[in-house]
Amino acid sequence: MLIPFRRLGTVPVDFELNRDNARFSGEIFLKKSNLAQLNGTITGSISIPCDICAEPIETPLNEEVSFYLSDGIYKGNEEEFDVVEIDTATIDMDELFRSEIELIRSDYYCCSNCEGKTLDAEF
């Protein structure tokens, strides 16, 4: 799903994307002339390998996400920390969804068989 920056206004635009068993939904609206705000939720589940034994773990999702999108290089105040710079003037919602899923995957996950073990204990 592609959303041109020039199409955004102060009235929120709703979005919903589905990938495998995960769903990303919410709204996006223009906060300033070249700065949009995205508020959404990622729900459902994804399969993530255990960091110790690599067995897949079906992990439930219920993540609130909120960040800003800048049309070009962000030159604003330091108060807006989570700013994604868009250099194509088009917001690729699929790419944002993939990025958020990868951010979730980058956390530490341990299956019930490996709870209490450490990675060092395996070597």
Q: Does residue 121 surpass a pLDDT of 70?
A: no
- CA torsion 93→98→99→101, rounded to 10°? 130
User: What confidence score (pLDDT) does residue 99 get?
Assistant: 92
Q: Does residue 120 surpass a pLDDT of 80?
A: no
SS3 content of the chain, % helix, strand, coil (to 5): 15, 50, 35
The C-alpha R_g of the chain, in whole angstroms, comes to: 18
User: What confidence score (pLDDT) does residue 7 get?
Assistant: 87
21-77: pLDDT as tens digits:
999 999 999 988 788 999 999 999 999 999 999 999 999 999 999 999 888 777 776
Enter the tokens of residue 36: 């949009």
Q: Does residue 11 surpass a pLDDT of 60?
A: yes
65-108: pLDDT as tens digits:
999 988 877 777 656 567 878 888 888 999 999 999 999 999 99
Residue 25 identity: S
**CB-based contacts of 105: which residues, under 8 Å, 6+ apart?**
46, 48
User: What confidence score (pLDDT) does residue 123 get?
Assistant: 44
Instruction: Give the C-alpha separation, 76 to 95, whole Å.
Output: 24
State the pairing for strand pair 56-71/83-86.
parallel
pTM of structure: 0.80
DSSP per residue, 28-56 = EEEEETTEEEEEEEEEEEEEEE-TTT--E
User: What confidence score (pLDDT) does residue 1 get?
Assistant: 87
Mean pLDDT, rounded, of the chain = 87
Residues 110 and 49: beta-carbon distance below 8 Å: no
